[in-house]
Structure 1
Amino acid sequence: MSRIGKLPIKIPANVDVTFNGNDIIVKGKFGTLSNQLPNGLGIERTNDSLLLSLKEETRNTRTLYGLYRTLINNMVLGVSNQFNITLNLKGVGFRGSVQGKSLVLSLGFSHPVQMSIPEGITVEVVQNTTLNLKGCDKENLGIFAAKIRSWREPEPYKGKGIIYQGEIIRRKAGKSGKK
């Protein structure tokens, strides 16, 4: 039995959770998220918390038990507080800007890179080289950050590229000189 799945999910005062059958809808001040439970899992509501339960104990439902508890918890946290990812652009001439509903990045290519910003995600550019991404859906936010990072992953010699806040890049020694 999953230790994580047994934990209750605390619901803040400003969040509304409704479920009918296997569909779960979570509404808060930052948006609305929905998910669908597998058939073997059930959900119960107490005063200010949710508790996931196993309807049938099979190997498949036991593996999904902790996963869906975490997914529902992330939905509750996202609509109440929003998730935040910070990306740093390191390199000569690397900069970013937001133009309408698109993100424009100068990453050393012969052309600027334009990416459309998905619905529910906001991008803030600080000092041209720091991108703050905010959104209530943790999965979509992570996918969008990974797409941005895939344009220039950090390289190990000079450390140039798009780097997550707090990420440590292992550096290599360059060529050794002639002897």
Structure 2
Amino acid sequence: MGFTRELEIVGVGYRAIPQSPTKIEVQVGFSHPVFVEAPDGVTFDVPAATRITVIGIDKQVVGQVAADIRKIRKPEPYKGKGIRYADERVLRKAGKSAK
């Protein structure tokens, strides 16, 4: 089976669309979709529109591909929108305080 890394997408209208086992389309609030190609030995599984699983034999490559996907839209600290690891805790900041 190999190694896996789970990512989840949080945000209204944010989603991942599988194109093939080695290519996904990620829509995360840009004016254009972002396409991600997997290197040799790595495949993607998209069980839901907001979950991506990176699967591969090489642990380092799987982690690097997952980090590259997360880098497209990192979780922001105010609403938590973005792409995060499934086991990641996003530190939330308080907004502006009213007078």
Residue 5 of structure 2 contacts residue 55 of structure 2 at CA under 8 Å; is this kept in 1? yes
Q: Does 1:99 align with 2:19?
A: yes
Query: Is this contact kept in 1: 2:23–2:44, CA < 8 A?
Result: no
Q: Which has the higher contact order (CA 8 A, sep 6+)?
A: 2
Runs (5+) with no aligned partner, structure 1: 1-80
Q: What are the equivalent positions in structure 2 for 1:15-164 lying under 5 Å apart?
A: 81-100=1-20, 101-164=22-85
Instruction: Report if the CA contact (8 A) 2:3-2:57 is conserved.
Output: yes
Residue 134 (structure 1) shift: 0.8
TM-score (norm 2): 0.94
Question: Which of structure 1's runs of 4+ aligned residues deviate more than 3 A?
Answer: none
* Bigger radius of gyration: 1
Task: Give SS of 1:174's match.
Answer: coil
Q: Shift of residue 110 of structure 1?
A: 0.3
1:176 match = 97
Q: What SS class does the counterpart of residue 150 from structure 1 fall into?
A: helix
Q: Note the C-alpha offset of 1:98.
A: 1.6
Identity across matched positions, percent: 46
Amino acid at match of 1:168: R
- Supply the distance in 1 between the matched residues of 2:39 and 2:24 (Cα, whole angstroms): 10
Aligned residues: 98
RMSD between aligned residues = 1.0
TM (normalized to structure 1)?
Answer: 0.53
1:144 deviates by 0.4
CA distance in 2, matches of 1:171, 1:115: 28
Distance 2:57 2:25 in 1: 23
- Higher helix proportion, which one? 1
Q: Distance in 1 between matches of 2:57 and 2:32?
A: 32
Unaligned runs of 5+ in 2: none
Once residues 105 and 176 of structure 1 are traced to their aligned partners in structure 2, the CA distance between those partners, rounded to angstroms, is 34
User: What are the Cα deviations for residues 108-162 of structure 1, in whole angstroms up to 9, with x where unaligned?
Assistant: 1000001111111111112200001110100111110011000100111001110
